[in-house]
Amino acid sequence: MLRGPISLETATVCAIGMAALLTIAVSAALLLTTGGEAPDAGPADPIPSVILVEIAAGYGDGGSTDTPVVRITGTQDAINLTASRVYLIDPGGELHDVETAILRNATLGEGMTAYVFYLPVDGLPAASGYWITDEPDMVFSTAYHSGVRPFSPGGQWRIVIYDPGLMKNRVDWVFRVT
């Protein structure tokens, strides 16, 4: 059997088929080398700093100096407290909005401290009674009120600071109140 030159149509079909096979092979190689994910085109997200959250002893109503308040210490990964939503979840699972008391600095940055405390206010029935401040005299003295009250009921509480701009929780910490 005599073989002559291939037709233009046959050559085009072969070229398209080889290009498709080459594309599949390169795609498979890229997926295998990146662990099954597409390579990231942008810069890697920095590892967020760990925000220090702890229980401190505040000045309580009636003169006690061991009423629990939540102390949040900022890091270089600053949190805008006025743009973020702060919540407390009590041991029964009830969600409490944390209202803003005095914030001299809206942004909680490195070395700065904010406090979450409980102080129900009769004139503000819509307020939850839970407040955040960066003014130490709000929780450690009677300069603004007669003293903070303990978190009630006792048990395991959770604090969440959600940043809607970043769409993530900046703080999510569980603490125990006795």
Q: State pLDDT tens for residues 24-63.
A: 776 666 666 545 444 443 333 444 446 789 999 999 988 8
Measure the N-to-C terminal CA separation of the chain; round to a whole number of Å: 96
Query: What number of other Cβ atoms are within 10 A of residue 109's Cβ?
Result: 13
What's the residue count for the chain? 178
Q: pLDDT digits over 83-125, tens only?
A: 999 999 999 999 999 999 999 999 999 999 999 999 988 777 6
CATH code given to domain 52-177: 2.60.40
High-pLDDT (> 70) share of the chain, % = 82
In three-state form (DSSP H/G/I as H, E/B as E, the rest C), the secondary structure along 37-61 is CCCCCCCCCCCCCCCEEEEEEECEC
